[in-house]
A and B are shown apart, each in its own frame.
Chain A
C-alpha cells in the first residue's frame, strides 16, 4: 500500500539527496575542483527544458495529436546544431560582461538601459507565471492521484478546496523554500550556482530513467512490445488517425513548422534555459558535447511517449482518465507500487528542477533589473547611503521567489483547469520567443538600437497578450467566451484567434505569426528611425564583434576616484569582507602591496563595475559606479582615437593617391620632355642639314663662276666683270648667312651681347624707314609712316631693334608688287608699352604658314622652284630679339590682301622703372 506518509517521506528523502549533491558540488567548487565544469553535467543541466510538462503533458498531447508534440523537442535539436555559433557568442559576451540574467543581457546590449531590462523582466514574469503554475498543478495532481492508490480517480478541479487543505498550496510553499535554499544562499560576483547545476543534472537523470522505466514497462510488460500496441491501436478509428496525423484534422504542416520555430527560440530564451545554457556555462567547449548529447536526451525521453499514450487510450475507457496522467496511472492499474512511486519522484524531479532554475533566474531579474534600479532612483529610500546592501539584495530575491510561487499558485487556482498542460506551456514559450528578435538582432546587427528593441518587445508582447493571454483569461471565465468567439465588442475581424481574418491555424501558430511580424517589424523600424547614442554604439560593437575582442572590454570611465571609495561601494553590495578579498587579490595581480597603493584608474573602476554587474546587473552597476566615478559619455579620448584611426587611414590613402598623381604627373612631364628632346634633336639635325644646304648654294655658284674665270683667261672683259660681280654678291650672301647663323646661335645660347638702354622707338623707326628708302624706291613701293607724336621709351639694344625693323621693312618691300606696292608703318603707345605695325598689301601668308615663318629656314613659297629671297633666318632672329626685351612679334595676314607684322615692347617705366621725361623730350 502506498500511504500518504510513504509518498511524503520518499519525496523528502529525494529532496535531501538533492541537497547533499548541491552541498557536495558547492564544497568542491570552493576548493577549486568543480564537478559542474564538465560537458556531461552541462548537457544534462540543459535538460531542465524537460519539465513536468514534458513528463506528463507530452503523453497528453500525443493522445490527441499523435506525433504533433515532437516539434517541441526537434526544435531544440536544430538550435543546438547552431549552438556552436549562436550560444557560444552569447556565452562569450556574458562572461566578459558578467551578465547575470537574460534581462541583464538584453539591457546591456542596448546601452545598459534600465528600461529595457525592466521590460524584459516584466515580460518574462508575466509570460512564465502560467508555466510555474503548471508545475504546481502537475505535482499536486500526481500526488493526489497517487494518494488514491489503488483506485485510479481524477482529483477534484482546482479551486474547489479551501486553500489550507489544497496540496498545491503546500507544494508551492515547499518549492519556494527549496528554491530559496538553492539559489539565494550567497551573493557571488559571478552569479553562478554550482550546487544548483549539479542537482539539476542529477534530476535530469532521474526523470529520464523514470520515464524510460515506465515506457519500457508499458510497452513490454503491459503490452507485447511496440508492434503490439500499434497493432491494437490501428483497430481503433480514433487512434488510427493519429498514426499519420499531419495535414489532417490534428494539425497542418504550418503548425508543425511554427511549433519547431517556437521551440527553437524557447530552448535559448526561456529564462531558465538562458540561465543554465549561458550564465552557468563554465567552458565554451562544453557546447560541443551538448550539441549532440542534449538532443539525444530529448530523443530518449520521447521515444515512449506515443506508445504510452496509445497504451493508456487502449487501457482506459475513453473519457474516464485524463491522458496527462497516463504515465502515473498505467503503473497504478498494474499494482506496480514501486514504479508508480518512482514515476511520481520523476515528475517531482522535473517540476522542482524547472521551478528552482526558473525562479532563481526570474528572481535575479526582478532584483537586478526591476527592484534595484527603482530603489536606487527613489531618493526617499536613501539606499545609496547604506553601508551593506548585500543582505538586502538576498532578501529581495527571496521575496521575489515567494511572490513568484504564490503568483503561480493563484494563477493555477484561477486558470489552471481551463487548459491542458501542453497549451499552458506553449503560451509561455510564445512569450519567451518575443526576446528572440532583440537578442539575435543584437548579436549580429550592429544597427539594432534601444528604440528598436523597446518597440519590438512592446509590440510582440502586446500581440502575445491579445492573442494568447486574454483568450486564456476568457476561457477561465474572467472575460467571457464571447471575447474569443465573436471578438471584442462583436468586431469579428479582431477575434483574438483569427486576427484580421487569419483563420485555419491553431492559436499558438496564429499568435506566433502575428507577434513575430509585429516584433521584428517594430524592431527594425525603430532601429532605422532613431540614431544610436554613443554608449549604445559602444555596447553594440562589444556584442557583435565579441570574437574580435582581446581581453576585457574597454572602459568608458574616467579615472577620477580612489580605490578605497570603490572598495566601499563594492562592499556595500557584496559584503565588506568579500570586497576586501576581491580588491586585495586584484592589488596582488597588479603588483601592488596593498589596496591603498592602487590608483583609482579606469581599469580599477572597470574592475569594480564588473564585480557589481555580476551581482546587481549591468544597468544598476553603471548607476552605482557613476556615484563615485565620473563617466565619459563616450570618452573624448576614445572618440579621438576612433577618429584618429579613421582619419589616419583616410590620410594615408589620400597620401597614396597624391603620390600616385604626382607620379603620373612626373611621368607625363618626362614623356613631354622626352618628346621635346627628340623634337630638338630632330630640329638640330634639320638645322644642320638646312644650314649646309643653304651654304652650299652660294658656294656652288661662287665655285662655278671662279672656275669659268680660271679656265677662260681670255674672257671678254665685260663678261668677266659680270661674273666677278656675281661671285662677290654670292660671297656677300654667304657671309650674311654665316653671320646670321652665328647670330642666332649666340642669341639662343645666351652669349649674345646686349647693350640695353632707354630708347625712343619713334626715332629708330624713322631711321629705319630712311635706311630702306632706297630699296622701296628701286622696287616702286611707297612707304607711309604714321607715327604717334610721342611714345613711352623702351629698354632695348638700339642696333638689335634696328635689325628687327630693317628686316620687317625689307620683307615688306620684297613681297609687295612693284609699282602698286604700298607699305604703312605705324607706331603707337598703349597702356604699358609701345606697338609697331608694318603693313603691306603684298601676297599675304596663308594661315598654316603664319606660324611656320618664324621658324628657322622656313620660307613661304616653293623652295624647289623659286630661288629663295632671303636666308630664312631673319624672322626667327627678330622674334628672339623682341622676346629678349619682354615683347612679342606676330603676324596677321590674309592671302592676297597683304599682311601686318607687329611687335610691341613694354614701356621702360613698366620694365625698368625710371624715365618718363625722355619720352616727352
Chain B
C-alpha cells in the first residue's frame, strides 16, 4: 500500500468534520426557537455549515497540492 497523501488525510478530516456538524448533538444546539435576522437559527446554521463544508472541499480537494 502506498502511504496516504496529506491531501487524503485532509479530505478524511473534512468528512469527519461534516459528519460532526450535521449530527446530534451539534444540531441540537441550534434546534431552538430563536431567530437570527428574522430567520430561524437552525435554518441559518444548516446552510452556513453546509456552505463552509463546500468551501473547504473546494480548497482541499481541488485546490493546489
Contact = CB atoms under 8 A, between A and B. Distances in A.
B31 A260 contact: no
B47 to A, nearest CB: 6
A301 B13 CA distance: 26
Contact of A67 (B23, B42, B62): B42
A615 B54 CA distance: 37
Given A291-B61, A292-B58, A246 B33 contact: no
A650 B47 CA distance: 58
A230 B22 contact: no
Given A230-B39, A243-B43, A246-B42, A295 B53 contact: yes
Interface in B31-65: 31-33, 35, 37-40, 42-43, 46-47, 50-51, 53-55, 57-58, 61-62
Interface stretch (A81-89, A135-143, A174-182, A566-574): A81-89
A81 B24 contact: no
Interface string B1-21: 010000010010011001100
Contact of B54 (A70, A245, A299): A299
Interface residues of B, number: 33
B49 to A, nearest CB: 9
Contacts of B33: 240, 243-244
Of B15, B28, B39, B54, which is in contact with the most chain A CB atoms at under 10 Å from its CB?
B54
Interface string A203-247: 000000000000000000000011110110010000010011111
A230 B40 contact: yes
A246 B61 contact: no
Given A81-B18, A82-B11, A295 B54 contact: yes
A847 interface: no
A67 B43 contact: yes
Contacts of A77: 18, 50, 53-54
A66 B40 CA distance: 11
A253 interface: yes
Contacts of A225: 38
B16 to A, nearest CB: 10
Contact of B23 (A226, A257, A296): A257
Contacts of A291: 57-58, 61-62
Contacts of A299: 47, 50-51, 54
B53 A228 contact: no
A256 interface: yes
Contact of B50 (A74, A231, A260, A547): A74
A306 interface: yes
A306 B22 contact: no
B23 A84 contact: no
A292 B57 CA distance: 6
Given A78-B19, A253-B28, A67 B11 contact: no
Given A81-B11, A244-B31, 11 more contacts: A77-B53, A78-B18, A81-B61, A84-B61, A226-B38, A230-B39, A234-B35, A244-B33, A253-B23, A292-B55, A299-B47
Interface of B: 2, 8, 11, 14-15, 18-19, 22-24, 27-28, 31-33, 35, 37-40, 42-43, 46-47, 50-51, 53-55, 57-58, 61-62
Interface of A: 66-67, 70-71, 74, 77-78, 80-82, 84-85, 225-228, 230-231, 234, 240, 243-247, 253, 256-257, 260, 288-289, 291-292, 295-296, 299, 303, 306, 547
